[in-house]
């Protein structure tokens, strides 16, 4: 048996090399080969096809690394043991499965099957944590802009606060959850969640279970309020207490459609898609 560590060198603002150093100590007794996944001379599918059944693989990177993997490998047919060790900036998946920084790698095969899909601008993607629409998409868009100009870490909380104060304007939203249609004015956030966390620690859907046997996902809407009231309520999302407020609606289902009255940025597990009017999730 051999162990392969596939690490995304570009994760965590190109600091993944340093982030995986503790892993070398944790797995010092294993026969490990470390491979930069961005420099493989074969696809992920080809890489796994060449493994022996007893070989094991550990992915190292952030939530975006996991999103890339689930969209390029048929995880429902994966035969090898697959582990994960976080080396990203947000690591929401790691938090959601109740793991902490410094914990040993966790086998994640069971989390990567029967994943929901989202249709955006005619393309279909799987997602592991969430699809974010509203100021969360704006935050990813602005974070991408800042990343192009500087190597400094991105402060998404700061971006969100500035967006709520003056840079981002809410939209009107039409939402269909399993055939039940609702409309919302001044919608600031309309994510659909597979897990509880997104945005580097925001507990957007505190009652969502990513291993729900019925495969429900949660659509959360924060809206109906102006800038200051929304800004005051926003910090409560980090502990999941925002769901107690009148300006927040939570809906569970299997088929969710969200449409805005103007195009904005959307994010899928932290990966940005620009100029989006609507998305459709099926779980």
Are 52 and 121 members of one domain?
A: no
pTM of the model: 0.93
Are 42 and 69 members of one domain?
A: yes
- Assign residue 144 the CATH number of its domain: 2.60.200.40
Are 139 and 45 members of one domain?
A: no
Per the structure, how many domains does the chain have? 2
What token pair was written down for 241? 């207490």
If one counts every other C-beta atom within 10 angstroms of the C-beta of residue 78, the result is 14
The overall longest dimension of the chain from CA atoms, in Å, is 58
What token pair was written down for 265? 């940025």
Are 148 and 227 members of one domain?
A: yes
Q: What is the pLDDT of residue 147?
A: 84
If one counts every other C-beta atom within 10 angstroms of the C-beta of residue 146, the result is 14
Are 157 and 97 members of one domain?
A: no
91 three-class SS: coil
Are 135 and 199 members of one domain?
A: yes
Alpha-carbon distance of 34 to 12, in angstroms, equals: 18
Show the low-confidence residues of the chain (pLDDT under 50).
Answer: none
Are 211 and 122 members of one domain?
A: yes
* Structural domain that includes position 89: 3-111
Alpha-carbon distance of 247 to 229, in angstroms, equals: 9
Are 106 and 124 members of one domain?
A: no
Among 111, 140, 156, which residue terminates a domain? 111
Alpha-carbon distance of 35 to 32, in angstroms, equals: 10
Q: What is the pLDDT of residue 180?
A: 97
Q: What is the pLDDT of residue 38?
A: 86
Residues in Cβ contact with 10 at an 8 Å cutoff, skipping those fewer than 6 apart: 16, 38
Among 111, 137, 160, which residue terminates a domain? 111
Q: What is the pLDDT of residue 200?
A: 87
- Assign residue 49 the CATH number of its domain: 3.40.50.10330
Among 45, 80, 111, which residue terminates a domain? 111
Are 132 and 224 members of one domain?
A: yes
Whether 204 and 90 have beta carbons less than 8 Å apart is answered as: no
**CA atoms lying within 13 Å on the CB side of residue 30:** 18
Are 79 and 134 members of one domain?
A: no
């Amino acid at each position: 048996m051999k162990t392969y560590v596939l690490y995304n060198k570009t994760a965590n603002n190109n600091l993944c090399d340093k982030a995986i150093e503790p892993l070398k100590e944790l797995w010092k007794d294993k026969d490990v080969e470390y491979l930069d996944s961005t420099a493989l001379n074969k696809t992920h599918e080809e890489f796994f096809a060449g493994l022996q059944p007893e070989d094991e693989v550990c992915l190292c990177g952030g939530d975006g690394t996991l999103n890339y993997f689930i969209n390029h490998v048929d995880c429902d047919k994966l035969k090898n043991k697959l582990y994960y060790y976080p080396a990203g900036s947000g690591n929401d998946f790691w938090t959601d499965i109740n793991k902490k920084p410094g914990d040993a790698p966790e086998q994640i095969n069971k989390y990567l099957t029967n994943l929901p899909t989202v249709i955006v601008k005619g393309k279909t993607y799987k997602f592991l944590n969430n699809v974010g629409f509203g100021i969360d998409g704006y935050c990813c868009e602005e974070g991408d802009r800042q990343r192009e100009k500087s190597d400094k870490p991105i402060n998404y909380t700061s971006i969100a606060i500035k967006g709520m104060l003056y840079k981002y304007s809410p939209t009107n939203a039409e939402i269909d959850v399993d055939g039940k249609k609702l409309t919302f004015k001044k919608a600031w956030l309309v994510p659909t969640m597979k897990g509880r966390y997104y945005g580097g620690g925001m507990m957007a859907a505190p009652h969502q279970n990513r291993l729900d046997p019925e495969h429900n996902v949660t659509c959360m809407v924060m809206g109906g309020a102006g800038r200051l009231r929304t800004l005051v309520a926003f910090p409560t999302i980090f502990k999941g207490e925002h769901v107690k407020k009148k300006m927040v609606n939570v809906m569970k289902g299997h088929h969710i459609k969200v449409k805005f009255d103007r195009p904005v940025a959307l994010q899928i597990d932290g990966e940005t898609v620009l100029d989006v009017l609507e998305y459709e999730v099926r779980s």
